[in-house]
A and B are shown apart, each in its own frame.
Chain A
Amino acid sequence: MTALSLTINGTPFGPIEVRDDLSMNDFLREVLGMTGTKFGCGAAQCLSCVVIVDDPAGSSATRPTCVMPAVSFNGAHIRTVEGHARAGQLTALQKAFVAHYAFQCGYCTAGFLNEAQVLLERLEAAPIPRAGLEQAILDALDGHLCRCSGYVRYHEAVRDVVLAEPARYLL
């Protein structure tokens, strides 16, 4: 057992004693009841379970929670699907997913949302030429499986968020 402390969506949790090989996915879903983060394959192959880990240096990356022990998140600051909207205000990305009918069953949505959010933040920090946008979106999202949508509307939604603020994301 290890005492785990971490910050989720800005709220500190812990220390909480957890079994050392308890997965982060089970920690979120079974211990905390935060089931917005999904379980799809348990093998980091569908990426529906990713959360955002915010690095103290300011960069962020997604991590699949199903293949990592919860204790490896000790001290981490993470964001989950439950934390994107603030004070009832959806983010531009959330609005775009909804407006585009990006998802159908929605089970992969949390993963796509987190991954695309990290992409937006990466583009904001290091804008790219417009011509490279579609490939950048593909590189970011290709690990994420969706069985319903055929992906088209997810990619269009992310692209539209970027193109709505070209000065912010593009060179």
Chain B
Amino acid sequence: MQPTRRELFSWVAASGITLGLSRLSPAIALPFEASQTLPGRADAPRIGRARIDGIAKVTGAKLYASDFRAADMEGWPTATAHALLVRARDASHVFAGLNLDALPATAQPTKVVGAADVAASALRAPPFYAGDLFCPIGQTPLYLGQPVALLLFTDFDAYDRARIAFREDSALVRFGAETGPRTGPNYAALRFTRIAGPTPEAPDIYSPLQEGWISPGFTEGGGRPIWKPLPTAQGGDYARGATYGEEIRALLAADTPDLLVLKRDFQTQSVDPMFLEPEAGLGWYEEGAGALHLVLGVQSPFEAAEALDYMLAQAPATLRPKRLDLDFASLGGGFGGRDHTPFPLYVGLAALFLPGRPIRLAHDRFQQFQGGVKRHAFDMRSQIGVDRATGRITAFAADHVLDGGGLANYSASVAVVGATAATGIYDIPKVDVTTVAEHTRGVTAGSMRGYGTLQTMTAIETLIDEAATTLKIDPIDLRRRNLLTAGGRTMTGNPWTVSVRTPEILDKLEAHPIWRDRAAKKAAAAPGVRVGTGVACCTKDYGTGADCSLGRVEIGPDGRVTLQADAVEMGNGIGTAIARRVAAILGQSADAVTVARIDMYDALGLVTSGDPYAMTQAEQDAAAKDPRWVPAISSATSASIGAHVSTQAPAQAARIIFRFGLWPAALDLWGIKAGDPREFLAEEAFWQDGFLIMSGLPPLAQTAIAARAHALKGITGAMAHAFSRWAWAQAAFPLGGLDWAADIDALAVRYGDEPFKVIDRSFVFFPPTAYNRIGTAFTSSCGTAVRVEISVPGGAIRIVQAYSVFECGEVLVPELVEGQAQGGFAMGVGYALLESLPPFEDGPGNGQWNLGDYVVARASDVPLHHLQIEVLPPVSPREPPKGMAEVVMIPVVPALLNAIYDATGHRFQSLPVTPAMLRKVIA
């Protein structure tokens, strides 16, 4: 790839020298969309069944937000300015402003934007990011890494010098009087208590599903919630639940000889998602047109648009853009860390305050550590009571404290998901879990793969292992005796509504040579080596309880398929998965797939109102009368929803094209007339090598069918919206004389080559709002077995063999599924053994962290050639895809801890377990 002509102009502008450059062939900036539309007609034949972005990624094509400069953007000015986001590395002293006089003249910014500028322009932090966009002068920063100023440079060299100067010289950001850290209210405090009825069939005596979720509402002086039920008229709902909770605690505290009670603390560390592409964005405020153009890379494009809109909404008309023109690029990794990130706000501010000039904001790695969203550190105390005679868990209680860092972000949600996962794969009749997410001066914590469950399921899976050892029951047997099976109730009181495969997974683990040969391998350990084996089995929800999918599918008269979807490509291969699911319906793989598109569905005319998580049933019923209303429009690519949710709208759109476009065309080609019984056998036809096969009839070429569909003005395009609240919204649409029911809630179609036209739904059913009390309904499970070798006395640990077995319903793209499991394994290894960020002043907020100190798993840390992945086949050919990209990481961590116990006889109760820690216990 040659440098583009415009890039060179920008360089000329900077240096005034034009030597030797005229030979370069000029290139023209392409529409941004072209860069994100894959595989593209030229590469489609070469891609075959590989990733649609495969060729782009091995040839260095511009794909990520960090790849784009002004010169790459069609219609933009050519020169790129650069922005530097300066953050606080102190949150205990008053911010006293910048010391720009100490910057050399060659590193001076063109413009400095701070709290005062934002206030003067009435720019607001969106509620999700409540807290100052910039720390005002005279205040103590709310958290380490809080932005204090945005420096704008028209010249790259000045920007580059300033970037390094701010990293090396803490005196450039001045601080005054010591105030100590700022305090803030907790982000959430909740209690989940369930008392099962006397039999599995009997209704629960108390459950969150029945009674609603409860929060204590009272805090002591230090801000901690008061969990005990207080004798007060207020908070009656809380007192009722808490009284049951305290009964469970009393049961566990009673010294009952037939009950084994283990009380254990467990601490998990803060870690960084460490996606490899640091956050970056490009902006241009085109003043004349009043358009703010941004190129962004986030998991949550719709949310980014809404957040920017909110930030700008109250600005004076002279400043407020008339239009937001947002382009969303592929991500160099996400893992949750780019779901609801405030970064786009600062890209927008950079552009807004340097009008007329394209400007780039890009983190370097130090800055990404300093400002990027982190995984919550958990402090957990768990109590488990196991009946010694039966090995049945009779009661479980836990108290979780999360370090939420400086901004609320997803803290409340992570606390809930972590708490409701605390019982893991088990059926426990009495459960009481409290959780509180605290504000601290640490770097903001938010979404990351595993999302609270990684922490709490590590705790339960090591606890169960210890219970097994103590009771001298085989660990797999003990798990089996306590499994929550299909139809049983989770700790929120609802059952899982999908297949539950943990029994098979335990069978697989038990039969695997890693587990079977554990004693022999231990006995055969070489001198100076401790050998240990561990297993764990976990389950992870997929979906958030308010998940959306937007998809648009078109088929041309030549049979070519074009796809657009709102899901984001962050490495998960979502574009490939959508293409695969649609190809099975339309007979040809799309050669033009564009993901992260949230603006292609105007014809649907969607409207929304209210909060899908908080609305009442009456509000939902009233709103649903508007045929354009949906509970939410677009959601983040997160929560393992790729296969299950993100492919849904495109797949349903494709089904409609097939049924009302291709199928009538095929009938026409076959000469089957209306009234022929074969008219309604569409479901029995299938595609093979580009031909539609129907027994007893000649195969039809897909291209011929598509041409005929166009000629007959059948449906050749469809766009759809789908919504899931632990069940799909369902609607019916008048199509082809039928009332066509599907798991979508909005539809527009195109006949022949006409424009898209919305179809009013004739019936709609939205999942009841009471489903919001469900903790988890969609879940998939994974088991892991590992064998480790620990060298004595050094403490170096090596994973010599590993096996992960899991289930995910229909496997859309086996290589993607297996790749997620391999990647999840490595990330689990990092979390268990390597990665750690200290809180506060020595942590990443100080701007001095990079990958030398923060060690993630390398190839040499994983058993490259001894990691076996097994995916259980779906329970039926029609089982839909289930999310699996998170669960594959989780059991890796407790399995390693259990193996370390087996090798050393020591149970570590904090992460990561380092060689230094191992040395101490094997000495």
Contacts and interface: CB of A to CB of B under 8 A. Distances in A.
A155 B819 CA distance: 13
Nearest to A19: B157
Interface string A120-154: 00000000000000100010011111111111111
A75 interface: no
Contacts of A142: 858-860
Given A45-B851, A106-B332, A81 B58 contact: yes
B572 A32 contact: no
A34 B825 contact: no
A55 interface: no
Nearest to A139: B860
Interface in A72-129: 80-82, 84-85, 90, 94, 97-101, 103-110, 113
Q: Classify chain B's interface size.
A: 35 or more
A97 B824 CA distance: 19
A26 B330 CA distance: 21
Interface in A1-29: 1, 3, 5, 11-17, 19, 22, 26
Contacts of A46: 276, 851
B62 A35 contact: yes
B668 to A, nearest CB: 39
Given A33-B4, A101-B816, A142-B858, A147 B58 contact: no
A106 B53 contact: yes
A26 B160 contact: yes
Contacts of A101: 50-51, 54, 573, 815-816, 819
Contacts of B11: 16, 31
Most A-side CB within 10 Å, residue of B47, B55, B820? B55
A63 to B, nearest CB: 17
A33 B7 contact: yes
Most A-side CB within 10 Å, residue of B1, B2, B276, B822? B276
Contacts of A165: none
Most B-side CB within 10 Å, residue of A101, A141, A146? A101
Contacts of B274: 147
Contacts of B188: none
Contacts of A107: 64, 275-277, 332-333
Given A19-B157, A45-B850, A113 B859 contact: no
A41 B820 CA distance: 23
Interface string B1-31: 1111001000100010101110000000000
Given A147-B856, A151-B826, A105 B275 contact: yes
B908 interface: no
Nearest to A94: B58
A155 B859 contact: yes
B69 interface: yes
Contact of B571 (A37, A85, A106): A106
Contact of B819 (A31, A32, A99, A153): A153
A65 interface: no
A3 B19 CA distance: 9
A82 B823 contact: no
A36 B826 CA distance: 25
A48 interface: yes
A34 B60 CA distance: 9
A152 B62 contact: no
Interface stretch (B231-239, B391-399, B756-764, B861-869): B861-869
Q: Secondary structure of the A side of the interface? A: loop
A148 B19 contact: no
Contact of A42 (B69, B819, B850): B850
B306 interface: no
Contacts of A80: 60
B57 A34 contact: no
Contacts of A103: 57, 571
B391 to A, nearest CB: 35
B276 A147 contact: yes
A120 B357 CA distance: 45
Nearest to B822: A150
Contacts of B816: 101, 104
Most B-side CB within 10 Å, residue of A42, A82, A105, A138? A105
B59 A149 contact: no
Contacts of B858: 142-143, 145, 151
B69 A98 contact: no
B366 interface: yes
B186 interface: no
B580 interface: no
Contact of A151 (B20, B56, B63, B864): B864
B142 interface: no
A30 to B, nearest CB: 5
B864 A152 contact: yes
Contact of B859 (A85, A99, A147, A151): A151
A152 B573 CA distance: 17
B689 to A, nearest CB: 20
Contacts of B278: 39-40
24 contacts: A16-B19, A30-B69, A35-B62, A35-B66, A36-B61, A40-B277, A41-B365, A81-B59, A90-B59, A98-B47, A98-B55, A98-B58, A106-B53, A106-B63, A138-B860, A142-B859, A146-B823, A147-B276, A147-B823, A147-B856, A148-B823, A151-B822, A152-B864, A155-B859
Given A15-B20, A107-B332, A153-B815, 12 more contacts: A14-B20, A33-B69, A33-B71, A84-B58, A101-B573, A105-B277, A106-B58, A107-B64, A107-B275, A149-B819, A153-B819, A153-B822
Interface of A: 1, 3, 5, 11-17, 19, 22, 26, 30-43, 45-46, 48, 80-82, 84-85, 90, 94, 97-101, 103-110, 113, 134, 138, 141-155
A-B interface, 3 closest residue pairs, ranked by CB to CB distance from nearest: A36-B60, A105-B571, A107-B332
Interface of B: 1-4, 7, 11, 15, 17, 19-21, 46-47, 50-51, 53-64, 66-69, 71-72, 80, 156-157, 160, 273-278, 330-335, 364-366, 570-573, 815-816, 819-827, 850-852, 856-860, 862, 864-865, 867
